[in-house]
Amino acid sequence: MVRGVNMKRSVSLRRKKVKSEIKARRPKRTLLNSQSLLAWYDQHRRILPWRALAGVTQDPYRVWLSEIMLQQTTVAAVGPYFQKFIKRWPTIRHLAKAPVDQVLQMWAGLGYYRRAHLLHACAQRIAADYRGQFPESEAELLELPGFGPYTAAAVAAIAFGQRANVVDGNVERVMARLFALQTPLPKVKVEIRAVAATLLPEARYGDYAQALMDLGATICTPRRPKCGICPLNKDCRAHALGIEEKLPQKIRVEKKPVRRAMAFVLINKKNQVLLRQRSKQGLLGGMMEIPSSVWQEGKMPQLTEVQRQAPAKTKWQILPGKVKHIFSHFELELAVAVGIAPKAVPGKWVGLSRLEDEALPSVMHKIVRHAVENL
């Protein structure tokens, strides 16, 4: 019993020691951190297609477009799409006049397609209600389609130099380490926003926001952070405690459910593939698709079970292998059946070489490739 009490006391003392060490390394609530970061940014800022050069005024349209595209998507993936959008629709008025189907077509492959619908709706709203000019305050930006707290803060700070607390995934990681915040994500997000607000500079809000993003993307990376060259390493509590790679902590995510279905690749005599448009509501709303049975959890359906959902009555050949695709909240496994259209079947028929011109999501391209490779 005494031994148990002593062990508890020992654990308690260790915890107090760690807490005191953390407190001792707490970054001072001064401008020191932000000024050090801005000095680093002036020398090491990334060159990005949507980012204005030093001393050049930011284009709000480019800032907004990039921020929408970068949601849940990497910089490397966004670059080519951003360039295509800007070339085709150089201003928000051009984008507002475009048919939404063309926007979806250009967005195809970038994922999270609801963003494309909201992007177009926002462009139309700004063109109609704001004479093609973005409002400058966070509060007004939050009223626009597709704007959440992060996007409103980012556009307000970067495009208009407004004082705003911009916190994305990179900034969350930097702050969690700088302050050694050990509450797991997502619960720690509120605390991160609070501590991040204490470090805002007196000016250059846009540069500061982008500096934090660049620091998280290039120095304070998820794995093997380059602490030795970090401009904030002297004030970083996690680095002082040697726990930087463990932060931010994350709650173990449960395995995603798996939905299964059968995709029907119907080909006509002209070697064209049948496409149909998905409902404008829900997942992949308004995009084109290869017809399939209902996506649902359970075992892979047999052809006899889902043949009534096929786009035509024909002899279907089940191909070997499966198509797998991961969505944000579930995994999808598809068996692929190929058939020859017996007669004229209503729908949109597209040649294989022209599929890139359609608003076809990545998973649909996977289905077509699987069919071509296994026929």
Active site residue 67: yes
CA 329, CA 258: separation in Å to the nearest integer?
9
Please name the residue that has the structure tokens 């279907």: 316
Cα separation, 12 vs 323, whole angstroms? 53
Look at residues 274, 278, 290 and name the one whose alpha carbon lies nearest to residue 345: 274
Q: Spell out the SS3 assignment of the chain.
A: CHHHHHHHHHHHHHHHHHHHHHHHCCCCCCCHHHHHHHHHHHHHCCCCCCCCCCCCCCCHHHHHHHHHHCCCCCHHHHHHHHHHHHHHCCCHHHHHHCCHHHHHHHHCCCCCCHHHHHHHHHHHHHHHHCCCCCCCCHHHHCCCCCCCHHHHHHHHHHHHCCCCCCCCHHHHHHHHHHCCCCCCECCCHHHHHHHHHCCCCCCCHHHHHHHHHHHHHHCCCCCCCCHHHCCCHHHCHHHHHCCHHHCCCECCCCCCCEEEEEEEEEECCCCEEEEEECCCCCCCCCCEECCECCCEECCCCCHHHHHHHCCCCCCCEECCCCEEEECCCCEEEEEEEEEECCCCCCCEEEEHHHHHHCCCCHHHHHHHHHHHHHC
For the CA atoms of 123, 354, 336, 359, what is the dihedral angle to 10 degrees?
Answer: 0
Out of 67, 138, 244, 289, the active site residue is: 67
Contact 271, 349 (CB under 8 A): no
Task: At 360, list the tokens.
Answer: 């076809």
R_g over Cα of the chain: 26
pTM: 0.79
219-268 residue pLDDT tens? 999 999 999 999 999 999 999 999 999 999 988 878 899 999 999 999 99
Question: Are residues 371 and 266 in contact, defined by beta-carbon separation less than 8 angstroms?
Answer: no
Positive or negative, the CA dihedral 237, 241, 242, 245 is negative
| Residue partners of 220: CB distance under 8 A and separation at least 6 | 170, 173, 174, 177, 226, 230
Residue 14 CB partners (closer than 8 Å, separation 6+): none
Q: Give the span between the Cα atoms of 123 and 107, in whole angstroms.
A: 15
Nearest to 341 by CA among 304, 316, 312, 319: 312
Ranges of the chain with pLDDT below 70: 1-32
257, two tokens: 């459910």
Cα(66)–Cα(64) distance, integer angstroms: 5
Q: Residue 32 has what pLDDT?
A: 59
Closest to 325 measured CA to CA, from 284, 353, 358: 284
The tokens of 55 are what? Answer: 């001393």
* CA–CA gap between residue 356 and residue 105 (Å, rounded): 9
